[in-house]
A and B are shown apart, each in its own frame.
Chain A
Amino acid sequence: LAKTTQPISMDSYEGQEVNITCSHNNIATNDYITWYQQFPSQGPRFIIQGYKTKVTNEVASLFIPADRKSSTLSLPRVSLSDTAVYYCLVGDIRGNDMRFGAGTRLTVKP
């Protein structure tokens, strides 16, 4: 089963790029890597998903090396509103081996 490990917290300043890495040494062939953002009193909200290599959308990029044992969420030019908890999820939605990391609390300072 893929165990996911991510840093507990990170600090940044407005306008900087933030990179959050998740480790998942036991990732399975069918597993996807998905990142979510969560604000207090809300459910997690999808940011980006990938299987291998690099994925980019309008809010973030996801870098996955060839061995897929880790992944890095990149948030370009963060703002105060990006202060939240970010979760890495590894697994296949068809099975029970999905594993969330414990979350990284990102604090963006002015």
Chain B
Amino acid sequence: NAGVTQTPKFRVLKTGQSMTLLCAQDMNHEYMYWYRQDPGMGLRLIHYSVGEGTTAKGEVPDGYNVSRLKKQNFLLGLESAAPSQTSVYFCASSYMTGGSNQPQHFGDGTRLSIL
């Protein structure tokens, strides 16, 4: 049982390049999330999805796009990378049961540097 898997683990981009980060979960969770983590700021929500085919903006969505074509996958795209997007990106998934929140399960992150 792999849980939440993020691809790639590391990447270096030049300003203006584009790329897609892939998140895959094998727990059949409805909810998926993309966060960025910067020093001293904790994790901030970029975009999230409450089900296949649906996405919504989080706290810091500018410069990013997402897609959830399949329930198990959640893609994060950077159309034109900027140095301010240098960060560690975490994907998470979760579900509800009995009307109650369940904890999020996190991947191990993608370390992205933009020069």
Residues of A with Cβ closer than 8 Å to B?
32, 34, 36, 41-46, 49, 51, 87, 89, 92-94, 96, 98-103
User: Does B74 make an interface contact (CB < 8 A)?
Assistant: no
- Residue of A43, A100, A102 most packed against chain B (CB within 10 A): A43
Q: Is the interface of A mostly helix, strand, loop or mixed?
A: loop
Q: Which of B44, B56, B94 contacts A100 (CB 8 A)?
A: B44
Q: Which of A45, A49, A94, A101 contacts B42 (CB 8 A)?
A: A101
Contact with A along B25-56 (1 / 0, CB 8 A): 00000010001000011111100101000001
Residues of B with Cβ closer than 8 Å to A?
4, 31, 35, 40-45, 48, 50, 56-59, 90, 92, 94, 96, 100-109
Q: Which residues of B contact A100 (CB under 8 A)?
A: 35, 42-44
Q: Which residues of B contact A92 (CB under 8 A)?
A: 101
Q: Which of B42, B57, B94 contacts A93 (CB 8 A)?
A: B94
Q: Which of A49, A51, A87, A103 contacts B103 (CB 8 A)?
A: A49
Which partner residue on chain A sits nearest B56 by CB separation?
A: A96
Can you list 6 A-B pairs, Cβ within 8 angstroms, ordered by A? A43-B92, A44-B90, A44-B104, A49-B103, A93-B94, A102-B41
A46:B41 contact, CB within 8 angstroms:
no
Q: How far is the CA of A49 from the CA of B108 in the complex (A)?
A: 21
B31:A93 contact, CB within 8 angstroms:
yes
Q: Which of A32, A43, A98 contacts B108 (CB 8 A)?
A: A43
Assuming the contacts A96-B57, A96-B59, A98-B45, asked whether A46 and B103 have C-beta atoms less than 8 A apart, the reply is: yes
B101:A49 contact, CB within 8 angstroms:
yes
Q: Which residues of B contact A89 (CB under 8 A)?
A: 104
Q: Which residues of A contact B94 (CB under 8 A)?
A: 93
Minimum-distance CB pairs A-B, first 3: A43-B106, A100-B42, A46-B103
A45:B106 contact, CB within 8 angstroms:
yes
Q: How far is the CA of A42 from the CA of B102 in the complex (A)?
A: 20
B43:A44 contact, CB within 8 angstroms:
yes
Q: Given contact pairs A44-B43, A89-B104, A100-B42, enumerate 9 new A-B contacts (beta carbons under 8 Å).
A: A34-B104, A41-B109, A43-B106, A43-B109, A44-B90, A93-B94, A93-B96, A98-B45, A100-B43
